[in-house]
Amino acid sequence: MAKLWAGRFSKEVDETVNAFNSSIAFDGRMYKQDITGSIAHATMLGDCGIISREDSRQIIKGLQGILADLESGELELDPTAEDIHMFVEAELTKRLGDVGKRLHTARSRNDQVALDIRLYLREEMGEIRSLTAKLLHTLCDLAQQHLDTIMPGYTHLQRAQPITLGHHLMAYAQMLLRDYDRLLDTEKRMNYCPLGSCALAGTTYPIDRQQTAKLLGFTAPMANSLDGVSDRDSCVELANALALLMTHLSRFSEEIILWCSWEFKFIELDDAYATGSSIMPQKKNPDITELIRGKTGRVVGDLTTLLAMLKGLPLAYNKDMQEDKEAIFDAIDNVKLCLKTFTPMLATMRVLKDN
């Protein structure tokens, strides 16, 4: 696939360098956000008279067709494309000819990727909040059932004072409420549109940044174009919120592991949420909670990756920033997986009240 930037080069990029440079293997998951952003951009270009309204209509129709074909599986991402932006624009040009090339007017891949990641994170945060709320409801229901179930409260893992299981469970509900609020706060700060920042210094075209921000559901455009293309605070903030959420799940998982053991025997997990041993049939292993403990380290590592990546970068965009996506995608994927398995495991566990 021809590179958008290849005009000044006299040699092809080495194949190894091309593979090393390519990001479509992981940023391809943002195809919907990339096309959504492009539709808003094309709409604005037509409304501002930067391209003709007819070209704008053709581009929007072409983009909608690409999205439909990707969703249906009729079109597949090209693994040789440098990134999702170049894939979409190349496919659009293949379908529309020169009209498709006009989509890139007054835009750079730098502000494109900054937009795509914000749109993607915003959508994923909504799902994570929903999953967190579901776990909160499960916790509250379980606590309500055990208002009078007496258990020991611990300090230093030594029995300290009598409490109730309901009291204990609601401590985790408080942690999750803070996690939920942190996700809301993160979305509030990240909900500003970088589109129009272009490569780093804006554009001389008479674009309407307010229009694209409004079309895409943002509070407003970002105030500084250098910040617009180089800011990844939203990734770091979200990774921090997710690392803390996972830390809370991990602490709870550790207690469930203890409570399952013969030494405590406060609960028994449902057979659907435990595993056994190939040679010791008496065993019932709390694998889900052990995996959550392990995955917590991975999500904390994703946060560290993002902070270490950003700490030495001068303004504005640097290719190092390509590393943001694998880290934040990994954190998102693991948190969603853990919440989806932890909640039904908790809802189905049996509390052994006598113990």
Mapping DSSP to helix (H, G, I), strand (E, B) and coil, where does residue 285 land?
Answer: strand
Query: What's phi and psi for 208, nearest 5 deg?
Result: -120, 95
Beta strand residue intervals within the chain, DSSP E: 150-155, 158-164, 192-193, 220-221, 267-268, 350-351
Structure tokens at 79: 């693994």
- β-pairing, 220-221 with 192-193? parallel
| Short-list 123, 175, 142, CA closest to 343 | 142
Query: What's phi and psi for 50, nearest 5 deg?
Result: -75, -35
Between CA 148 and CA 167 the distance in angstroms is 9
Are the C-beta atoms of residues 82 and 90 closer than 8 Å to each other?
no
Between CA 276 and CA 222 the distance in angstroms is 54
Among the listed residues 52, 130, 261, 277, the single catalytic one is 277
Between CA 285 and CA 339 the distance in angstroms is 19
Among the listed residues 137, 156, 248, 253, the single catalytic one is 156
Amino acid in position 302: D
- Give residues with Cβ within 8 angstroms of 324, minimum separation 6: 117, 232, 235, 306, 309
156 counts as catalytic: yes
* 299-336 exposure pattern, b = at least 16 Cβ within 10 A, e = fewer: bbebbebbeebbeeeeebbeeebbbbbebbbbbbebbe
Residues annotated as catalytic (active site), given as ranges: 156, 277
